[in-house]
Amino acid sequence: MALLNFRRKTDAKPAAGNPAHMEAFLHGYSIEVMPRTASKVESFRDILPQGTRVYIAHIEGTPIEEMVETAARINAEGFDVMPHFPARIIKDEATLANWIAMYQGEADVKQALVLAGGVAEPHGAFHSSMQLLESGLFDKAGFTRLHVAGHPEGNKDIDINGGSKNVDEALQWKQKFSERTDASMALATQFAFEAGPIITWANSLKEAGVDIPVHIGIAGPAKLQTLIKFAIACGVGPSLKVLQKRAMDVTKLLLPYEPTEVLAELAAHKAANPDFNIEQVHFFPLGGIKTNAQWATDNGGASGTPVNAVANQA
């Protein structure tokens, strides 16, 4: 099977704003997959830059064996693997210890995204990411990187009546945890569609004394209807109006959404404010992994060149 060409296409739509700023902002981006979507990718080495961090989302009902098998496969292709550990679907400490042992023994995993998980009723003893971190099991296992969730537009599962009181308190706890752990930490956030609220939220973290780096969640290219469905399901807040406004424009309704505008604005802000605490971009490939990876490459997001493309150019 012929390899795809992942160098910048001459007919690709140019990045908005300053291409150098966009390239710098996309450097080192990460991307998320699930076992069922990963199984459709023949080779991650054909589509992702070398060294890309690949998160593996653990959806309720997915057997841990499928998660570990996916992690092992992607790790074997040379990528950093970061599986989700959703507290509310982990029954107890014994289960958590078993998961960690399986990931380490079969997939050499040393990184985790620790989060509550979008399940209404906990399956057992855990209901928050903080409880998983407090167990000390990740530290005992020698995990070198622990990411936790961030919510630029709040989270109604945590703050049922709106506002951000509980989210803010959790962030302060995570900040203190980051100060006493040897593991590198980052806030991997829910996706949003508007740069202004993201910048305001990121700045508010610094003002509150939270200096954990932010890996901002961005929805990759997808059909507008698909994005609106996921945004509503995931509780995306104020920036959802960006999609709703687009849906009202008949000329844009059938065109696929691309995150060019929001990323160009964030990239420009980062270039003008080097101490801006957004460190990397994390993609949710809602329109497909290959589509998202190609869009990132076309817009300067080559944190290296796809592994097999390097081999072809040698």
pTM: 0.85
Q: Under a CB-based contact definition with an 8 Å cutoff, are residues 111 and 137 in contact?
A: no
Q: How far is CA 3 from the centre of its chain?
A: 26
Q: Under a CB-based contact definition with an 8 Å cutoff, are residues 243 and 224 in contact?
A: yes
If pLDDT is split at 50, 70 and 90, which confidence band does 166 have?
confident
Residue found under tokens 């308190």 = 169
Asked if residue 12 has pLDDT above 50, the reply is: no
CB atoms within 10 A of CB 272: 9
222 φ, ψ to 5°?
A: -165, 165
DSSP 3-state of 302: coil
Q: pLDDT digits over 109-122, tens only? A: 999 999 998 787 88
Identify the residue with better confidence: 310 or 123: 123
Which is it for the CA torsion 120, 122, 127, 129, positive or negative? negative
User: What residues contact residue 226 under an 8 Å CB cut-off, 6+ apart?
Assistant: 286, 287
DSSP 3-state of 209: coil
Per cent of the chain over pLDDT 90 is 67
If pLDDT is split at 50, 70 and 90, which confidence band does 269 have?
very high
Tokens of 42: 């023949």
Can you give the pLDDT at residue 239? 55
- pLDDT mean across residues, the chain: 85
Can you give the pLDDT at residue 249? 52
Asked if residue 255 has pLDDT above 90, the reply is: no
Q: pLDDT digits over 122-162, tens only? A: 899 999 999 999 999 999 999 999 999 998 875 555 545 55
Domain ranges within the chain, ordered by starting residue? 19-313
Q: pLDDT digits over 45-98, tens only? A: 999 998 999 999 999 999 999 999 999 999 999 999 999 999 999 999 999 999
- Helix (H), strand (E) at residue 115: strand 111-115
If pLDDT is split at 50, 70 and 90, which confidence band does 201 have?
very high
Asked if residue 285 has pLDDT above 60, the reply is: yes
Can you give the pLDDT at residue 238? 58
Tokens of 133: 């971190």
DSSP state of 50: T
- Measured at the CA of 121, the angle between CA 115 and CA 122, to 5 degrees, comes to 55
Can you give the pLDDT at residue 2? 33
The pairing of strands 80-86 and 53-56 is parallel
AA identity, residue 80: D
- Measured at the CA of 167, the angle between CA 163 and CA 171, to 5 degrees, comes to 140
Asked if residue 30 has pLDDT above 90, the reply is: yes
Asked if residue 205 has pLDDT above 60, the reply is: yes
Q: Under a CB-based contact definition with an 8 Å cutoff, are residues 183 and 144 in contact?
A: yes
Mean pLDDT computed over 285-311: 77
Tokens of 191: 């996706």
The domain defined by 19-313 carries CATH number 3.20.20.220: yes
Alpha helices in the chain (DSSP H): 19-26, 35-38, 64-76, 93-107, 129-134, 137-140, 165-180, 195-207, 224-233, 240-247, 250-253, 260-272, 289-298, 307-313
